[in-house]
Amino acid sequence: MEKKANNEAKIMWKVMIVDDEKLICKLVQALVEWDKLGMQMAAQAENAIQALDMLQQYRPDILITDIRMPGMDGLELIKNAKKICPELEIIIISGYAHFEYARNALSLGVGNYLLKPIKQDELNETLRKIGERLDAKKSAQGMEMAERRVSESDVNRLRYALLKDLVEENSKTAKRRELMAPLLIALGCD
């Protein structure tokens, strides 16, 4: 699931599409420039309940969802999905330009709201920006882990040096006692 780019491994970000209209799911899948964006289709669901089950299994990085779906709507899906995958990036696609939907989406941490009909350039640009954001997060996490590893190795090296010094000091002290024992006995000391 990794591809080479610029002589370094690049992560393929997983995308999940949720829409009760199969044609919209197929359209989104056809419009996305998967390889160019370093992304792959992880799963596709026709409703929010199915999507929540699939989230557990596929652990996507990006969720593209409609708002209005039967059963559970997209906003409720987002609330529940964030509990499962807190770092999940979300794009809402909707045929409704209602301010209330957008406001609710913003309150859930959604920063990407695309109106139907979906425009290929707009969708790919949105995904490109999300991919860059995910790359930056991954890079920052990698640097943090490297710093932690250096720190842990420094601590381990210090522990080793301390133990070595203690062992060497104890053996020096023991040798001194051996050498000084006859003298101390001669002087009448225990």
Q: Which DSSP string do the residues of the chain spell out, in sequence order?
A: -EEEETTEEEE-EEEEEE-S-HHHHHHHHHHS-HHHHTEEEEEEESSHHHHHHHHHHH--SEEEEES--SSS-HHHHHHHHHHH-TT-EEEEEES---HHHHHHHHHTT--EEEESSPPHHHHHHHHHHHHHHHHHHHHHHHHHHHHHHHHHHHHHHHHHHHHHHHHHHHHHHHHHHHHHHHHHHHTT--
User: What's the confidence (pLDDT) of residue 140?
Assistant: 83
User: What's the confidence (pLDDT) of residue 152?
Assistant: 65
User: What's the confidence (pLDDT) of residue 6?
Assistant: 45
User: What's the confidence (pLDDT) of residue 177?
Assistant: 66
Selection from 18, 22, 60 nearest residue 39 by Cα: 60
Mean pLDDT by 10 residues, the chain (190 residues): 48 94 95 97 95 95 93 93 94 81 78 89 96 90 70 64 64 65 63
| Angle, alpha carbons 39-42-47 (nearest 5°) | 125
Distances in Å between the alpha carbon of 92 and those of 4, 63, 127?
30, 8, 12
